[in-house]
């Protein structure tokens, strides 16, 4: 399984229309791109536990996507719905960290 993890912080001046457009693009990608197995959006916990390290940039939101394999991730990234999502994301994000991972067998 391959995971696509996006930590992000929206610009402070994002309009309601831009926010709604981004959410609509996320829903479309989650529902209509065949290689997406799972698409979750989350908001950071308001009062994190003490083990959370301080001093790092704040990313209040996360998008977590799962694919069968890297081929599924690449199909997602090149899909026209993701192209639209990426454009909207870049227009509304102040900062982001994006990582891709392959699952490892746990022993």
CA–CA dist 39, 32 (Å, integer)? 11
**Domain-located, residue 71:** no
Its pTM stands at 0.86
- In a domain, residue 36? The reply is yes
Q: Looking at the domain assignment, is residue 91 inside a domain?
A: no
Q: Is 106 part of a structural domain of the chain?
A: no
- Provide the number of structural domains found in the chain: 1
Please state, in angstroms and as integers, the Cα–Cα distance from residue 100 to each residue in 44, 60, 94, 103, following that order.
20, 19, 20, 10
Residue 15 belongs to domain spanning: 10-45
What gap in Å lies between CA 12 and CA 87, rounded to an integer?
18
What distances in angstroms separate CA 56 from CA 52, 89, 97, one per listed residue? Answer: 10, 22, 12
Say what percent of the chain tops pLDDT 90: 80
Residue 87 belongs to some domain of the structure: no
Give the N- to C-terminal CA distance of the chain in Å, as an integer: 17
Inside any domain, residue 107: no
pLDDT tens digits for 50-100?
Answer: 776 776 788 999 999 999 999 999 999 999 999 999 999 999 999 999 999
Q: Is residue 21 part of a domain?
A: yes
Which residues pair with residue 7 across a beta bridge? 62, 97
Q: Rounded to whole angstroms, how far apart are CA atoms 64 and 56?
A: 20
């Amino acid at each position: 399984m391959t995971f696509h993890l996006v930590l992000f912080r929206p610009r402070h001046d994002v309009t309601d229309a831009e926010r709604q457009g981004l959410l609509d693009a996320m829903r479309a990608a989650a529902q209509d791109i065949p290689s997406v197995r799972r698409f979750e959006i989350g908001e950071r916990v308001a009062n994190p536990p003490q083990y959370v390290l301080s001093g790092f940039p704040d990313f209040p939101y996360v998008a977590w996507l799962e694919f069968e394999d890297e081929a599924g991730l690449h199909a997602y990234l090149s899909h026209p719905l993701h192209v639209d999502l990426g454009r909207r994301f870049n227009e509304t994000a102040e900062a982001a960290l994006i990582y891709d991972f392959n699952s490892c067998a746990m022993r």
